[in-house]
Structure 1
Amino acid sequence: MERRMSVATHWGSFVAVVDSGRLVRIEPRHDDPAPSPIGPGMVTAADDSARVLRPAVRKGWLNGEPRAHGTARGTDAFVEVSWDHAITLVSDELRRVRSQHGDSAVFGGSYGWASAGRFHHAQGQLHRFLALDGGYTDARNTYSTAALEVILPHVIGGHPWSYQSRMPMWAEVVDNCELVVAFGGLALKNSQINPGGLARHQTQDLQRQCREAGVRFVNISPIRSDVAGFLDAEWLPVVPNTDTAAMLGIAHTMLVNGWHDEDFLRRCCVGFDRFASYLLGELDGIRKDAAWAAKITGISRDAITDLARRLTTRRSLIMVNYAVQRADHGEQPIWMSVVLAAMAGSMGRPGCGWGAGYATMDATGVARDRAFVATVPEVANPVPDFIPVARIADTLLHPGEVIDYDGKRLTLPELRLVYWCGGNPFHHHQDLHRLTRAWQTPDTVVVHEAWWNTTAKFADIVLPVATSLERDDFAAGFSDPHLVAMPKVREPAGESRTDHHIFAALASRLGFEQEFTESRSEIGWVRHLYEQTRAKLGDDAALPSFDDFWRSSTAELPASTGPFPGSFEALRSDPQRFPLPTPSGRIEIFSEEIDSFGYDDCAGHPKWYEPVEWLRADLSDRFPLHLISNQPASRLHSQYDNGDHSLSSKIRGREPVAINPLDAASRGIESGMIVRVYNDRGSCLAGAVLSDDVMPGVVQLSTGAWWDPVQPGLSGTLDRHGNPNVLTADRPCSRLSQGPSALSALVDVEFYDEPLPDVLAFAPPSLVPPS
């Protein structure tokens, strides 16, 4: 008999249909107006040949082979072992590393989205376990928004993510705004997802309401389809990595014509006079006017001038996407977008002003926050050491090196044991060949994984984990006003166990099981966290009992009413009564603090810095195409690349790469051909898609295809599958944020006329019996 069960994921809520314990299919919820197609593809992936079914240990590590540059990590066979043996190996190795090298030698940064669920959150479980065991070196910030997270607290104050509750919501844009200028676009594909889950997708409907209300949109992006067709947006193709120059040209035009909001700049900002001197060329002899910006950006002088006029004469909103800051000097477009909004006259007016990250997640711009929901309790980390998240390869390759970070000097620790779960560094990180070299240096790499992806193949000990379909939990997404039950849909594949089960077993061996589990079962924890939430919210929330919630599958949370400190509307009304949490209490167009750092790549006010790699660089003579490695439409990062939806998007098994017909014609490339995308860092195969949605000089290859090197131990070896991070540079945005600069990469493309190698990304490694 079929049963219908609730499923919650980062890409939405679904209904699982189960027959006699077998997962038959996954269906969208009837009340979701824009369900993601990723969900149904989870069915075939649940039991595909890539599942890790038993604990496995790399043969060379198990046999005690010494570390060397020629190590077989990534190429070696694996030996399947019992759970008891695996737990012994991991617990003994943790003891050894801590006793010989100290607690900071254990790296538990373990970055990644993992899966939805308040209890079975992989990083939360890992960090709790490692903190109770003595501590660990952590990672700070995210690959998605590192530059933004570091720069915004200096400019507008507050927590790095507090801007999301301070910018206009879509409903306010509908009612009040006339013009939206989107730097980096508003790609709806990105709004499929929401951290922690969501009950219903709302962004698409809200964007439609904006258009129906007469709001006009301008898309400043190298890709036309970064804005939905129904918005009828004006497209201004921009040379990648030049958004800051475009903004400066607009700002100069506002200034010299007297169109800027002098009152707001005087009352609510500091440092505009020093920035104005830079705009006018008084500091460096270069006027940042529309003609100057046109030469850099490819946007015409007239278009820049017209945009300046419209921004200052209409109720306007400047949006900036996360993608523009994942580049050389990525702090600058974020900072400059705030300054431009302050100049334009709409900052702090209802539905207008400034905002970041719209459409990158569904709840961004939909709700300011959600009510409290309990999660796995944190334990203070006894180790103070941390690294910026994107500097993991630097840390492994150069322990002891000192780097700058947000006004501090950090000494990179020596990491001897890497413990990773709930993420995939061989997806997130740039320059995968460099990461491969770095990955050989620690003594041991332990990974929890459900599938034999690249990270698992490059580990020493792989512990098979249950997926979100194979455990009990409940979800609560970012700013989503719902709790969604996640009952176990099916039994775990093979000998898979939950992360919590694994850490509880390790904690038992290491002597702190009771502190880790608090004597609760897993379903006991789920019930406890729900009841904690219910008690904290009180009678006004009227949440049902846990048993009723578990039966009904969804519960509505009360609307969050704040407080939301740092409001730009309050600042505009009275900057003395409602100061921002910055040193001056106002928007810092010039930051004395940043200026005091003395960085040569991030001054005290927004500036144009020429990127290391862009279409006007000398390197473009050899590599004349700019690579846009954006987020995929067919999966979440690398999650479910082995799912039906992602597999159906591929061309002859390779990831699709979009190229303008003019660039394709000059290279003899036609749609459907397999091409080689390459530069000095590496090369990959991809399937060509000709599209005039991509401006000439640009190619677009999404991230997330599982890396499939022909010779994993050979630096520069061909990737068979189409992972763009074999091409991207492992170079920080600046000394301020040390964030990734993935979108500063030049490449070329050629027809691949050699015999096509088989794609082995989803094939498990060689599994051998113990010797």
Structure 2
Amino acid sequence: MERRLSVATHWGSFVAVVDSGRLVRIEPRDDDPAPSPIGPGMVTAADDGARVLRPAVRKGWLDGLPRANDTARGADAFVEVSWDDALTLVSEELRRVREQHGDSAVFGGSYGWASAGAFHNAQGQLHRFLALGGGYTDSRNTYSTAALEVVLPHVIGGHPWSYQSRMPMWDEIAEHCEFVVAFGGLALKNSQINPGGLARHRTRDLQRRCRAAGVRFVNVSPIRADTAGFLDAEWLPVVPNTDTAAMLGIAHTMLVNGWHDEDFLRRCCVGFDRFAAYLLGEADGVPKDADWAARITGIGRDALTGLARRLTERRSLVMVNYAVQRADHGEQPIWMSVVLAAMAGSMGRPGCGWGAGYATMDATGVAPGRPFVASVPAVPNPVADFIPVARIADALLHPGRTIDYDGRRLTLPELRLVYWCGGNPFHHHQDLHRLTRAWQTPDTVVVHEAWWNTTAKFADIVLPVATGLERDDFAAGFSDPHLVAMPKVREPAGESRTDHHVFAALAARLGYEREFTQGRSESAWVRHLYEETRAALGDGAALPDFDEFWRTSAAELPALTGPFPGDFGALRSDPGRFPLPTPSGRIEIFSEEIDSFGYDDCAGHPTWFEPAEWLGGDLADRFPLHLISNQPASRLHSQYDNGGHSLASKIHGREPVTINPSDAASRGIENGTVVRVHNDRGSCLAGAVLSDDVMPGVVQLSTGAWWDPVRPGTSGTLDRHGNPNSLTADRPCSRLSQGPSALSALVDVEVHDGPLPEVRAFTPPRLER
């Protein structure tokens, strides 16, 4: 008999149909106006051949052999073992590393996307377990927004993510705004997801409301499809990595014509005079005018001048997307976008001013936040050491080396044991060949995984864990005003256990099970966290008790209302009474603090720095195409690349790469041709899609295809499947943030010559018993 159960995921809420314990299908909810197609595709992956069904240990590690030849991580066979043996191996290795090398030698790697649940959050479970055991080296910031997270607190103050509640929401934009310039676009595909879960998708309809209200949009991006067709956006193709130059040219035009908001700049900002001198070229003799910007960006002088006029004459909003800061000097377009909005005259006015990350998830711009929701309780980490998130390969390759980070000097720790849970570094890290070399250096790599993806294949000990469909929990999305029940849909595959179950068993062997579990079962934890949330919200929230919530599947949280700390409207009204949490209490167009760091790649005000790789540089003579490795439409990062929706998007089993027809014609490439994308760092195969939605000189290859090297562990080897991080540079944005610069990469593309190698991304390694 079929049962229908609520399912909450990072890409929305669905209904799972189960028959006799077997997952039959996943259906959209009737109340979701724009359901993601990723959800139904989860059925394909639930029991596919890539599932990790039993604990497994790399043969070379188990035999104590040196990491070389066929015993290398990524190229070795695995031996399946019992849970008892696996837990003994992990607990003893944790104990040995801590005793011999100290707690900082343990790296707690996780990116937290494994489940939408409040309790079964992989990152929270791992960090709680490791902290109670003595501590661990942590990572700081995210691959998505590292440059933004570091620079914005200097410029507008507050927590790195506080800007989310300080920028206009879509409904305010529809009511009050007239003109929006979106640097990096507004790709609607990205709004499928929400970290922590999602009740229903609202971004599409909110954007439609803005267009119906008469708001005009300009898409400044190398990709036309970075705005939805219904927005009728004006497309200004821009040379990748030159957004800062475009903004400077617009700002210069405002300044010399007297169109800028002198009153706001004088009362609510500091350092404009020093920045204006840079704009005018008083120090370097180079005015950053529209002609200068046009030569760099490929946007015409008249178009830049027109943007300056419309931004200042109309109620306007400057948007900047996350993609533009995942590049060389990625802090600069974020900082400069704030300055441009401050100059334009609409900063702090309803529905106008500045905002970042619109449409990057179905949360930003939808609601300013949500009330407190309890999650697995964190434990203070006794180890103070950390690394910037994108510097993991540096830490493994160069322990003891010092690097700059946000005004500090960090010493990279010696990492002997890497414990990864809930993430896939062989997806989101850059230059995977360099990461492969780095990955051979620690003594041991432990991974929790549900599937034999690349990270599992590069581990020493792989512990099979349940998916979000195989455990009870509840979801609470970022800024989403709903709680959604997540009852277990099916039993875990094979011998899989939940992350919490695994950590509780390890904690028992290490002597702190009681502290880790607090004497609660998993079901008791889920109930406890819900009731803790209910108690914290008080009687006014009127949340049902847990049993009623579980029966009805959802509950609505009270809406948050502003003004919020650091509100730009309050600043505009009275900067003395409502200062920002910056050193000056105002927007820091010039930051004395950043300037004092003395970084040669991040000055005290927004500045144009030529990227290491871009179409205006010498390297473009050899590699004349700029690679845009943006977020995929068919999955979340690398999650469910083996799902039905992602598999259906492949071309001859490879990830699609979009190329302009003029670039394709000169290379003899047709629709559906399997091509080799390459540079000096590596190469990969992909299936060509011809479209004038990408500007000439640009190719677009989404992230997330499971990396499938022909010779694992051999640097530079061909990737059969189409992962762009075979090609990207493991190079920091700057010394300020040390963030990733994935979108600063040049490549060339050619027709693949010869037989097509079989894609083995979803094939488990050789397994022995």
TM over 0.5: yes
SS at 1:392 equivalent: helix
Partner of 1:138: 138
Structure 2 counterparts to residues 482-521 of structure 1, below 5 A: 482-521=482-521
Hey, what's the Cα distance between the residues in 2 that align with 1:522 and 1:30? Answer: 30
Matched-pair contact (CA < 8 Å) for 1:71–1:440: no
Asked if 1:761 corresponds to 2:761, the answer is yes
Asked if 1:80 corresponds to 2:88, the answer is no
Asked if 1:310 corresponds to 2:310, the answer is yes
Hey, what's the Cα distance between the residues in 2 that align with 1:137 and 1:71? Answer: 27
Structure 2 counterparts to residues 27-38 of structure 1, below 5 A: 27-38=27-38
Shift of 1:714: 1.2
- Code of the aligned partner of 1:493: A
Asked if 1:723 corresponds to 2:723, the answer is yes
- Code of the aligned partner of 2:285: G
Partner of 2:280: 280
Partner of 1:49: 49
SS at 1:495 equivalent: coil
SS at 1:247 equivalent: helix
Matched-pair contact (CA < 8 Å) for 1:185–1:219: yes
Change (3 A) 1:450 1:566: same
Partner deviation per Cα, 1:621-662 (whole Å, 9 max, x = no partner): 000000000000000000000000000000010000000000
Partner of 1:199: 199
Partner of 1:184: 184
SS at 2:370 equivalent: coil
Hey, what's the Cα distance between the residues in 2 that align with 1:304 and 1:311? Answer: 11
Matched-pair contact (CA < 8 Å) for 1:106–1:418: yes
Partner of 2:373: 373
Structure 2 counterparts to residues 593-672 of structure 1, below 5 A: 593-672=593-672
Hey, what's the Cα distance between the residues in 1 that align with 2:747 and 2:627? Answer: 6
Partner deviation per Cα, 1:717-765 (whole Å, 9 max, x = no partner): 0000000000000000000000000000000000002100000000000
Shift of 1:561: 2.7
Partner of 2:219: 219
SS at 2:541 equivalent: coil
Asked if 1:418 corresponds to 2:418, the answer is yes
Shift of 1:111: 2.3
Partner of 1:291: 291
Matched-pair contact (CA < 8 Å) for 2:59–2:71: no
Matched-pair contact (CA < 8 Å) for 1:260–1:344: yes
Partner of 2:736: 736
Provide TM-score, normalisation by structure 1: 0.99
Hey, what's the Cα distance between the residues in 2 that align with 1:450 and 1:532? Answer: 30
- Code of the aligned partner of 2:464: P
Shift of 1:66: 2.9
Partner deviation per Cα, 1:393-421 (whole Å, 9 max, x = no partner): 00000000000000000000000000001
Partner of 1:17: 17
- Code of the aligned partner of 2:597: F
Shift of 1:484: 0.3
Hey, what's the Cα distance between the residues in 1 that align with 2:70 and 2:77? Answer: 15
Partner deviation per Cα, 1:609-628 (whole Å, 9 max, x = no partner): 00000001100000000000
Hey, what's the Cα distance between the residues in 1 that align with 2:727 and 2:200? Answer: 36
Matched-pair contact (CA < 8 Å) for 1:422–1:448: yes
Matched-pair contact (CA < 8 Å) for 1:655–1:686: yes
Partner of 2:234: 234
How many residue pairs get aligned? The number is: 769
Partner of 2:556: 556
Matched-pair contact (CA < 8 Å) for 1:67–1:443: no
Hey, what's the Cα distance between the residues in 1 that align with 2:119 and 2:674? Answer: 43
Shift of 1:69: 8.2
Hey, what's the Cα distance between the residues in 2 that align with 1:718 and 1:525? Answer: 46
Partner of 1:677: 677
Which runs of 5 or more residues in structure 2 are unaligned? Answer: none
Hey, what's the Cα distance between the residues in 1 that align with 2:540 and 2:373? Answer: 15
Matched-pair contact (CA < 8 Å) for 1:401–1:411: yes
Matched-pair contact (CA < 8 Å) for 2:7–2:487: yes
Structure 2 counterparts to residues 150-549 of structure 1, below 5 A: 150-549=150-549
Partner of 2:697: 697
Hey, what's the Cα distance between the residues in 1 that align with 2:67 and 2:232? Answer: 58
Matched-pair contact (CA < 8 Å) for 1:144–1:322: yes
Shift of 1:20: 1.4
Which runs of 5 or more residues in structure 1 are unaligned? Answer: none
Partner deviation per Cα, 1:546-597 (whole Å, 9 max, x = no partner): 1111110001111123561000000000000000000000000000000000
Provide TM-score, normalisation by structure 2: 1.00
Change (3 A) 1:642 1:70: closer
Shift of 1:545: 1.0
Hey, what's the Cα distance between the residues in 2 that align with 1:761 and 1:573? Answer: 57
Matched-pair contact (CA < 8 Å) for 1:174–1:210: yes
Hey, what's the Cα distance between the residues in 2 that align with 1:628 and 1:244? Answer: 17
Partner deviation per Cα, 1:127-157 (whole Å, 9 max, x = no partner): 0000000000000000000000000000000
Shift of 1:68: 5.2
Hey, what's the Cα distance between the residues in 2 that align with 1:692 and 1:185? Answer: 16
Structure 1 vs Structure 2 CA RMSD: 0.7
Structure 2 counterparts to residues 87-166 of structure 1, below 5 A: 87-166=87-166
Partner deviation per Cα, 1:355-397 (whole Å, 9 max, x = no partner): 0000001010010010111000000000000000000000000
- Code of the aligned partner of 1:108: G
Hey, what's the Cα distance between the residues in 2 that align with 1:72 and 1:357? Answer: 40
Matched-pair contact (CA < 8 Å) for 2:60–2:67: no
Shift of 1:266: 0.1
- Code of the aligned partner of 2:750: E
SS at 1:337 equivalent: helix
- Code of the aligned partner of 2:228: A
Partner of 1:709: 709
Shift of 1:44: 1.5
Asked if 1:566 corresponds to 2:566, the answer is yes
- Code of the aligned partner of 1:77: A
Hey, what's the Cα distance between the residues in 2 that align with 1:564 and 1:263? Answer: 23
Hey, what's the Cα distance between the residues in 2 that align with 1:561 and 1:100? Answer: 52
